Structure 1
Amino acid sequence: MAEEESPVSDTLVEITAVSLERSTLEARELMLARIAALAAVDAPPASYLLNVGAAVEVGITLEDVEGILVAVAPIVGTPRVVAASGNLAVALGFAIALEAESETEAED
């Protein structure tokens, strides 16, 4: 079976790894900053999905995300915060569906 090529996602993973290695922020602070940046640039659900696993691993909660969105709202504006909330909900729903599918496959 030939190894599957995914140059775009591989590049994103590499860029993220370098960012994590070179940042002087603690892991939790870094993920809070990344979530705020995603809201600021009106990131699509896939961008949130790429970060949700790492955010959960360092203890970021939904309450933390709500706090981040409230904090950046005066700067990025209502439309971006509303879009971020929706995009994050889509990403979380997708992540939950993937996890459920993995559990179902493991049971079979």
Structure 2
Amino acid sequence: MTSPSDTPVLDTLAAMTMDSVERCGLPMDTFLLTRIAALVAVDAPPMSYLAHIGAAADGSDLTAEQLQDVLVAIAPIVGTARVMSAAAHIAEALGLAIAVAESDMTPGS
């Protein structure tokens, strides 16, 4: 049994994600693009995109153009409503990421 935590849900999600990364043979860019496509398919909230966009910025050469290409590629499958919803959620996630980064750079924060 593991020791209790103040964030058991986040800890579980992090462990599941790490297990997935370790077991998957895809290059990191492809892995992240695949996961983003899955987030679009399930109409995930902005926080889900934030977790993946942060990983993309930290550990891969993923570009905005590649992200757009994924949205274009999956639009005929998931539909325009899901793609537009995802675009809004991604934009919100990027705004959150920028706000966090700016607050980290602000003295006294």
Question: Which residue matches 1:84?
Answer: 86
Question: Which residue matches 1:24?
Answer: 25
- Separation in 1, partners of 2:13, 2:51: 9
Q: How far apart are 1:105 and its partner, in Å? A: 3.4
TM-score, scaled to structure 1: 0.91
TM-score, scaled to structure 2: 0.90
- Separation in 2, partners of 1:92, 1:5: 27
Identical-residue share of aligned pairs (%): 48
Residue of structure 1 aligned with 2:76, choices 67, 74, 77: 74
- Separation in 1, partners of 2:107, 2:87: 30
Question: Which residue matches 1:5?
Answer: 6
Question: Which residue matches 1:48?
Answer: 49
- Report Cα offsets for 1:23-42 as digits up to 9, x if no partner: 01111110110111111110
CA RMSD of aligned residues (A): 1.6
> Where does structure 1 lack aligned partners over 5 or more consecutive residues?
none
Q: How far apart are 1:63 and its partner, in Å? A: 1.0
- Separation in 2, partners of 1:80, 1:33: 16
